[in-house]
Amino acid sequence: MPKLTKYRVLVAGILSSPAAAALLVCLGLYTELGNGRSFRLSALTLSAVMVLATSIPFLVTFVLAIRDGRRHFLPATLGLVVALLSLAIPLKLAPGALNLWKQPRNMAMRDVPAPQFAALDLDGKTQSLSDQKGKVVLVNIWATWCTSCRAEMPKLDRLYQEHKGQGLIVFGLSDEDAATQRKCLDRIPVGYPLLTYKGEIPAFYREVGAYPVTFLIDRRGNLQPAFGGDPPIDKLEAAVAALLKAGAG
């Protein structure tokens, strides 16, 4: 027993990474199996819980190392160093949790100048927000792996086709490369430009914790609430129509 106590920090350190990974898997399964149940956590809360939960194995090792450090310095130090590897998981999750906190604030902005961007489309042509002066611009942040994004694309394309003559431009912006987006485009053809993150893309358009995200920019270049994503598409259509009408003439 004394010998086991001597190496308990080292053992805890070795087990910390597998334990953090197991906690992440369990929380992921909870997210999948919890859909439709009465008790559900919001995306932001769940993300924060994941960060905290996957940090627990390191914290346990850290506490043990403080207790045993003087008596068993070498194994305690080794255990703590090994346990540091487990922090890769919460550190990887932390930016997503931060983006989930920022995202609602960004989407609610009104009458604030939209951050300018310039990005390469799938043909390698630069598409700039500054070139769309006097138009209503809809920026849809999406990903090919996102089911909701793919389901939304035909609706956005219909909206674009119906109103482009009135001054509507739609941009689909994704952090995936052109080849990946083209594969999706083969299955879900749309007429509006799809953009990559190659170019000058401010952090505002990168702070995405849950896809899809839609930003509306009026003819003056100011952000307006969009109601894109989970809410019904008719709310987005109404918002676009209002902006087109308000700036007409």
Q: Which two tokens mark 137? A: 């611009």
Distant-in-sequence, close-in-space partners of 99: CB < 8 Å, separation ≥ 6: 207, 208, 209
Q: Which two tokens mark 183? A: 């594969």
DSSP category for residue 242: H
What is the C-alpha to C-alpha distance for residues 218 and 236, in angstroms, rounded to an integer? 13
What is the C-alpha to C-alpha distance for residues 151 and 149, in angstroms, rounded to an integer? 5
- pTM of this structure: 0.68
pLDDT, residue 37, reads 43
190: helix, coil or strand?
Answer: coil
Q: Angle CA(18)–CA(19)–CA(21) in degrees, nearest 5?
A: 65
Nearest CA-CA partner of 103 in 230, 221, 205, 171? 205
Q: Which two tokens mark 32? A: 């999948």
How does pLDDT run along the chain (249 residues), one tens digit per residue? 455 577 888 899 899 988 888 887 887 676 555 544 434 455 666 667 777 888 898 999 999 989 887 788 888 889 889 989 988 887 776 666 666 667 777 888 899 999 999 999 999 999 999 999 999 999 999 999 998 899 999 999 999 999 999 999 999 999 999 999 999 999 999 999 999 999 999 989 988 877 888 999 999 999 998 764 455 678 889 899 999 988 655
Q: Which two tokens mark 150? A: 């793919």
The β-bridge partners of 163 are none
pLDDT, residue 38, reads 39
Is residue 184 within 8 Å of 144, Cβ to Cβ? yes
pLDDT one-digit tens code per residue, 16-38 = 988 888 887 887 676 555 544 43
* Domain 108-247 sits in CATH 3.40.30.10: yes
What is the C-alpha to C-alpha distance for residues 136 and 214, in angstroms, rounded to an integer? 13
Is residue 111 within 8 Å of 224, Cβ to Cβ? yes
The string of DSSP letters for 69-113 reads TTTSHHHHHHHHHHHGGGGHHHHHHHHHHHHHHHHHHHHT--SEE
Instruction: Give the residue range(s) of CATH 3.40.30.10 domains in the chain.
Output: 108-247
DSSP category for residue 134: T
What is the C-alpha to C-alpha distance for residues 185 and 191, in angstroms, rounded to an integer? 10
